[in-house]
Amino acid sequence: MSQRILGAPAGSISPGAPVPLQVAVSTTGSVRLGGEPHWVAYRADGTIPPHSYRWLRVLWRSYQCYLEGPGGSQGTDVLTLRVKVGWITRTEVVWLGTEVAVSPITKWPSWCNSHPPQP
């Protein structure tokens, strides 16, 4: 059976901003040059056919004002997804093996006070 990636579970947020992460699935397998995927198109609610693989593109938003102080960062070592296999919808946890972190480049207090994060 195919597995359809539905996205992040309700209530999940990006490490680095109080907004949901975005997940997209490659529409086909990829051409590999030096081990990296090239010429790949992505779709927000993509399907992975049986006995195949697809690349996932995960976008986390970093909100510089949400991260505390200079040098601050937030990260995660897991990716939690809602998936559908046949009639069953479930939550699947993918262990990343190492922490993926986002951090701000600069922090402007006056700008942060006048621009709250947008979903």
**Higher-confidence residue: 18 or 34?**
18
pLDDT at res. 62: 64
CA 20, 103, 54, 24 torsion: positive or negative?
positive
Average pLDDT over residues 50-73: 71
Look at residue 104 and tell me whether its pLDDT is greater than 90.
no
Question: Which pLDDT band holds residue 29 (cuts at 50, 70, 90)?
Answer: low
Average pLDDT over residues 8-20: 77
| Structure-token match 């960062």, residue found | 73
Look at residue 101 and tell me whether its pLDDT is greater than 80.
no
Long-range pairs for 76-82: beta carbons < 8 A, 24 or more residues apart: 76/15, 76/100, 76/101, 80/8, 80/9, 80/12, 81/5, 81/6, 81/7, 81/8, 81/9, 81/23, 82/5, 82/6, 82/7, 82/8, 82/9
Question: For the chain, what are the domain ranges?
Answer: 3-112
| Structure-token match 């972190």, residue found | 101
pLDDT at res. 14: 73
Dump strand ranges (E) for 27-113.
31-33, 36-38, 42-43, 47-48, 56-59, 74-85, 88-102
